[in-house]
Structure 1
């Protein structure tokens, strides 16, 4: 099959399947190219650009003469020679109306031929298309005001929010499970360590073995947020090198999130910020039944109880705070309010650093 990831706009225009989609509105080709754009978001601009040029070429064909076309085609080849560092001039094996492209392309200023070679060869967001070409893909779009439940063949469930879309294969591959999200959805992934589950959302990929989490892909401000409810997930930027590294094994590596943690990925500056969720919940373990009543309890035991209850990490200087004891009732307070009360009582303060709670104290006397 063709390696469309390496294509420039001029290559797309010469592709038979691409032309069938644009000019003939072929249903099969349309489904393929729409899916391909979602899997290769860095090439979307090239695809749309090529589509627009091709439609313009088609409309202008009747007004372009063969003599002028041949002359402009020679100029086109000459310009490509220069931009490709004296590579051999080539002749496009196109039908007659595609030779009219040369004249029209010059009219629009060859704006796409002069694009940076580096920009056209960016490797970010490229997925090996061969992995999914034999699968039948299904698209579900929530156009209602209510949540939509989507059940997958592996037993996983997706709660799709309004104005959101999910693409998934009718039957997953043997080694991996992959879906594409546009918008926002909550995932309950059926546990299967031997078949990792991948969610592609814009420039971020979430990898899980079986857990529940929320993904919000905000196209307007170019951010993607992943919030973990249960289990663990790993997240990484959608680049070719990352895909090679993270999709060829079943381990969770890279930036790993645990319950009550979230990450926000900013596509603009390629930055991931991990933090605790706004309102951490008690974990669904027996510890949640613990009564947070402390009567002259060493602060180390208090912090240990909070860590177990919320699945968080509290960093503090045990030596400095070895004489600190707490007497307080914290049963009905959310986590951050508990921390505020503790710090107020002990004349300490805290801050959140990379999803950890860091306590600052001068000790107790």
Structure 2
């Protein structure tokens, strides 16, 4: 294979259009041919002089780099005519910015940390769906929920992303932990069943097994898998331990709530939830109760601001939305109406 082929592969690498087969071919060329070894050695020396290790690699001194490459190549008396030709091609690439000092980093990164490909499943308010993963684990989604799982799991853990509420029944596999990542916290399990509410309640409720819950900022677990910071499961869990703002371990019958101060509050859990058509509210603000009712039933509900600080402790089992709302109205001393055009329920304060 000639140097033009190397150039073509380098250009495809820089434009991120290179295929896995071509990437392997380029790597083999750069490590086996004498000319390419020399080029790689020069690039490696210069790369080590600056630590460029970001996802968006830029280097503003391409012209300076080109000149230094020229000087080093010209000083080497053993350079052959063929390598001189290769130098002109490489210098041209450097001049237009195709050969940055991040080349080696990009080559290694693309091969060791392939992009994660996600499959997303979502539900509307009042809708439910059940997902079965390749390992036999099942996930049941409540209304207004988004779940993303890996199309092909190429990392040493099982990983899903959740925005909303879902009940998990995870197949046990101690060699491959299961992580549920959300905006505010990450849940680690091996084999267990539990419920997670990432947005309204910010809770984790355990039915069986054991889970560890980490309060994380900006989905730390996803960052670890996407940028190659942790290529082994033990590295990833270790980094989660070090970067968490708070961790709790939960056993069956326990529930963790992440409060507004990003602190965990652990309490007892009675094992019944929306999956059993049972809604349990323990001293919860009425606006939050109605948000959960909207997610579960799918009916839009408006509320008077006068009820913002009204708390509720109540359980609904197998009730329809109108029955739930009528009970809440009685307890809050309000009135219930429904707009026939918009189909929106409204809880208003009774005028004296």
**TM above 0.5:** no
Q: TM-score, normalised by structure 2?
A: 0.38
When the two structures are superposed, what TM-score results if normalisation uses the length of structure 1?
A: 0.37
